[in-house]
Structure 1
């Protein structure tokens, strides 16, 4: 989906919902899709990929980030996360940390749905205030 005009929250959520279709969730049967909007307008899909060794499972949001970074993208504008209907779902703590890595100012827009299906939006900074980041490592390196 490269080179698109600016995408709105509903279109980004539709892309996340489409990505749910690729999820590999044979254990939880809880398919999740994500759509990460890069600064260049590219929408990168991601889905959860479960593993029988549960610790090897990766969430949809991190799948999208890994795919985007693998493709040379490092600047992101927004991410939408879609789970099963009727469930309010947001990024887990680990995904929040990974997303904050690429939004040190906390401005990355995070679009989700409430249990009734209505879109809601916030920022990664609001979801993970005082996130651990590069400045913390820099501070620790000083004598």
Structure 2
């Protein structure tokens, strides 16, 4: 039997904490909260009947779905930093942990108004052309493109 069969699935809280830090840990709290809202909105939609299953169903699956959150891409410099032992001492990571806990407890208000996507405000990806943002916070622009 392979040792991989005995490994527990990634903790949703741990994966969400890392995702928040990797995507927005260098940004203001409102941006981190916005990224958390995007993850939770995707989860809510994926669990609905006929929802977008390609995003995954659990928080960890949604965060680590291919081509969804750049910090999980193998070439991302943030991914390498997410694996560094000193991350646990980063004050920004402590903020991400608190926001992740609130999101998972259902205690995080959604200031993005149901957003399922976002990008940095200093860029305009092709998928965002012609789309109407639902919110802007901390250098991120949010959109509701699903549901």
| Fold-level similarity (TM above 0.5) | no
Larger relative contact order (Cα-Cα within 8 Å, sequence gap ≥ 6): 2
TM-score (norm 2): 0.29
TM-score (norm 1): 0.30
